[in-house]
């Protein structure tokens, strides 16, 4: 059973005044497995928040289906094992930090009592908010509110947590703390669905990502696989290359980039082997051959640019 399962999910909005149709999601199908940290990427308006809202039945799809733990998201019981931190969440300002956790804990189905109190203490401690527990949240900073939101999402020990921009407004130290907490959650076998603009962060945390653009799923896969640049290889030699050898290499791959002891080729496996054969037959000692990697940010920008051009 998949933790999240969607099939041909589409969502069409109608603009209020112009009556123009806007496709927020187009025929979107994907699954998320237990224990994964799944990252959802995309430019503004790509449909990321719409997808999360459909999965939590905050918004309804125009067509297609979505399930959480095998139960249709239209059934509110599907959300029993789910925690959620919305972007720009708004807690009742008249409550203290402790009361907020108490309120949302009960709404999540937790029973008031010593177990819940213990769990609230634990969460406040984990977020470094213990000394602020009796303070009204209207006095909290943005970072504290974000940590309280995360504590709220984790309070009932859900098996699946949706986090929409969890480090938004949090300082670098706080971001590191949140990343560490997410790693702890993952170690417990929980599933995290992360929506973030901070690509470096997603790259550090996530096992698998999906890139959305204009409601379409344009790339999906493991972070390691996606960031491996296809057919880009670097050959490092022990000795400097002679002019004659450089000419030979250019004869095999005219587009190759050649340095003193380095050759970069994007011409594919056949040409790579041709270059290696040529070097070796001329007695050149090869030190390393690496497949180049790109950052998730580079990949993201390239993929979005390519999709927009198409």
Contact residues: other proteins, CB under 8 A: 53, 56-60, 76-80, 82, 84, 86-95, 99, 103-104, 106-109, 152, 162
Count the neighbouring beta carbons within 10 Å of the beta carbon of residue 197.
Answer: 14
Per-residue tokens: 94: 């008249």
Per-residue tokens: 118: 């213990």
Closest to other proteins by CB, 24 or 124: 24
Closest to other proteins by CB, 163 or 256: 163
Look at residue 128 and give its three-state secondary structure: coil
Minimum distance from residue 72 beta carbon to other proteins (Å): 14
Closest to other proteins by CB, 17 or 94: 94
Closest to other proteins by CB, 141 or 242: 141
Minimum distance from residue 200 beta carbon to other proteins (Å): 26
Classify 283 in phi/psi space as left (phi over 0), alpha (psi -120 to 50) or beta: left
Minimum distance from residue 6 beta carbon to other proteins (Å): 17
Look at residue 96 and give its three-state secondary structure: strand
Closest to other proteins by CB, 158 or 174: 158
Minimum distance from residue 162 beta carbon to other proteins (Å): 8
Residues 6+ apart with CB under 8 A from 300: 41, 199, 211
Closest to other proteins by CB, 90 or 188: 90
Minimum distance from residue 138 beta carbon to other proteins (Å): 10
Closest to other proteins by CB, 24 or 299: 24
- The C-alpha atoms of residue 122 and residue 245 are separated, in whole angstroms, by 65
Minimum distance from residue 35 beta carbon to other proteins (Å): 22
Per-residue tokens: 26: 């187009």
- Phi and psi, residue 119, nearest 5°: -65, -40
**Of the candidates 203, 259, 256, which has an alpha carbon nearest to the alpha carbon of residue 233?**
256
Minimum distance from residue 84 beta carbon to other proteins (Å): 4
Per-residue tokens: 16: 């209020």
The answer to whether 54 and 26 are in contact (CB under 8 A) is: no
Closest to other proteins by CB, 76 or 188: 76
**Of the candidates 47, 64, 68, which has an alpha carbon nearest to the alpha carbon of residue 5?**
68
**CA 253 to the chain's CA centroid:** 37
Minimum distance from residue 59 beta carbon to other proteins (Å): 4
The answer to whether 193 and 46 are in contact (CB under 8 A) is: no
């Amino acid at each position: 059973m998949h933790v999240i399962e969607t099939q041909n999910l589409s969502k069409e909005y109608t603009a209020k005044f112009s009556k123009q149709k806007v496709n927020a999601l187009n025929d979107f199908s994907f699954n998320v497995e237990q224990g994964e940290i799944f990252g959802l990427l995309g430019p503004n308006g790509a449909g990321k928040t719409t997808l999360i809202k459909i999965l939590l039945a905050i918004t309804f799809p125009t067509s297609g289906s979505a399930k959480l733990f095998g139960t249709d998201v239209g059934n509110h019981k599907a959300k029993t094992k789910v925690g959620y931190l919305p972007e720009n969440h708004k807690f009742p300002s008249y409550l203290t930090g402790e009361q907020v956790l108490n309120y949302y804990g009960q709404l999540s189905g937790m029973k008031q009592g010593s177990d819940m109190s213990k769990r609230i203490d634990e969460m406040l401690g984990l977020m470094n908010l213990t000394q602020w527990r009796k303070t009204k949240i209207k006095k909290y900073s943005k970072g504290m509110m974000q940590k309280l939101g995360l504590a709220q999402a984790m309070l009932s020990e859900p098996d699946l947590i949706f986090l929409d921009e969890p480090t938004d407004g949090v300082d670098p130290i706080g971001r590191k703390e949140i990343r560490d907490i997410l790693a702890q959650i993952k170690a417990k076998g929980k599933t995290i669905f992360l929506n973030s603009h901070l690509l470096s962060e997603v790259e550090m945390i996530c096992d698998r990502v999906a890139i959305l653009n204009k409601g379409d799923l344009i790339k999906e896969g493991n972070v390691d696989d996606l960031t491996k640049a296809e057919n880009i290889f670097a050959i490092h030699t022990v000795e400097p290359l002679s002019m004659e050898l450089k000419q030979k290499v250019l004869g095999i791959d005219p587009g190759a980039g050649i340095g003193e002891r380095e050759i970069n080729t994007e011409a594919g496996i056949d040409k790579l082997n041709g270059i290696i054969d040529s070097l070796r037959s001329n007695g050149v000692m090869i030190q390393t051959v690496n497949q180049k990697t790109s950052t998730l940010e580079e990949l993201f920008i390239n993929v979005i640019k390519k999709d927009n051009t198409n």
